Structure 1
C-alpha cells in the first residue's frame, strides 16, 4: 500500500479536498498538510518521511518542501499545477484532482 501526501499552503482547501477525494481508495493511505507554519496541519519531517509520493499543488510548495525537508524527503514529488482558486470540495477542483492524480498512482 502506498502512502500518499497532498500538500498546499494552508491545508484548508486544496490538499484537504484531495485527501477526502482519495480517502476511499483501498490501495493507498492518504494524508494532507500545509507548507505554512500556521497551516491547519503543518508539514513535518515525519509526514514527509512517511510518504511514498507527495502531490504538491504549486511549484512553490515543491520548492519549500525540498528546502525545508531535504533530509526526510525520499518520496517522488508531483506538482499538480492547481492554483489557489477553489473552495473546499469545489466540483471543479475535484474534477482536476480526479483527472491529474490517478495516473501517478498506478
Structure 2
C-alpha cells in the first residue's frame, strides 16, 4: 500500500479535494494537510515520515516542507503540481486538473 499525502496552505480547498478524489483508488492510502498555522489539518512530522509520495500544490509549499520537515523527508518523493489557489472545494475544473497531474504518479 502506497501512502500519498496532499499538501496546500490551509487544507480547505485544494488538498482536501485531492484527498477526496483519490480516496477510493486501489492500493493507495491518502491524507491531506496544510502548512499554515490555521490549517484545518496541520501537517505533522509523522505524516511526512509515513508518506511515500507527497504532492504539494505550489513551489512555496515544497520550500516550506523542506525547511520544516527536512529530517522526516528521507523516503518520500515530493512532486509539485503547480496548481494555484484559484479553485473552490471539489470544483469540477480542479478535479480534472488533479486527475490529469496526479494519475501518472500513482
Normalising by structure 1, what TM-score? 0.98
Q: Does 1:67 align with 2:74?
A: no
Alignment of 1:20-31 (within 5 A): 20-31=20-31
Task: Tell me the alpha carbon deviations over residues 37-61 of structure 1, each in whole angstroms, 9 at most, x when there is no partner.
Answer: 1100001000000100000000000
CA distance in 2, matches of 1:38, 1:70: 21
Secondary structure of the residue that 1:61 maps to in structure 2?
helix
Q: Does 1:52 align with 2:52?
A: yes
Q: What's the offset of the Cα at 1:78? A: 0.2
Could you tell me which runs of 5 or more consecutive residues in structure 2 were left unpaired when the two chains were aligned: none
4+ runs deviating over 6 angstroms: none
Task: Tell me the alpha carbon deviations over residues 48-102 of structure 1, each in whole angstroms, 9 at most, x when there is no partner.
Answer: 0010000000000000000000001120000000000000000000000010001
Secondary structure of the residue that 2:4 maps to in structure 1?
strand
What is the aligned partner in structure 1 of residue 40 from structure 2?
40
What is the aligned partner in structure 2 of residue 96 from structure 1?
97
More helix by share: 2
CA distance in 1, matches of 2:64, 2:13: 18
The two structures, once aligned, show a CA RMSD in angstroms of 0.5
Secondary structure of the residue that 1:70 maps to in structure 2?
helix
